[in-house]
Amino acid sequence: MTKETIGYLALGSNQGDRESHLENAIVKLEEETDISIVKASSIYETDPVGVTDQPAFLNMVVKFETSLDPVKLLKVTQKVEQMGGRVGKGTWGPRTIDLDILLLNDENIQLETLQVPHPRMLERGFVLLPLKEVEPHLRLNAGRSIDEYINQLTDKEGVRKWKSSFGGEGFARFES
């Protein structure tokens, strides 16, 4: 099947075995015939944002190809979250796994259930730093470089590289 859309997903976990939750989500995404993971960032440990009285998060970004339309892709990411033990969609609260669609080609999507580009991605060091690792020359909003946005971040000190390579055996092809 032809995979026509290039996209980027942010993954995060701060409950239980955080690294395993990230790894399992990627395995589940790879099991979808219409999604291929192309590249994965390192894993970053991040201080919580918003609700700060909770454990630190592990975050990463993956680049993928898909032939799914955006709504079907959202349903797949929500299914992966549910299979990973995600309950509710509370804002900034603890979670076993969280998947956010960041970008899909150059599309601007404004639906009740989905906004692409992700509406808060440019404010989040835990998204932009791993995104830059996966796509260092990425241009966003009116052609501005990702570095311009990173330089304006106020929370990047709370984002630390936790593990340079992602996953175990079979995941080496995702390494940056």
Residues marked active site are found at 86, 95, 98, 100
Peptide bond into 117 cis (omega under 30): yes
CA angle 37, 111, 144 (to 5 degrees): 60
Positive or negative: CA dihedral 152, 157, 162, 163: positive
Helices (H), 84-139: 125-134
Q: Which two tokens stand for residue 28?
A: 């589940």
Question: Coil, strand, or helix at residue 31?
Answer: helix
Q: What share of the chain is helix, strand, coil (3-state, %, to 5)?
A: 30, 30, 40
- Total count of residues recorded for the chain: 176
Compute and round to an integer the Cα radius of gyration of the chain: 15
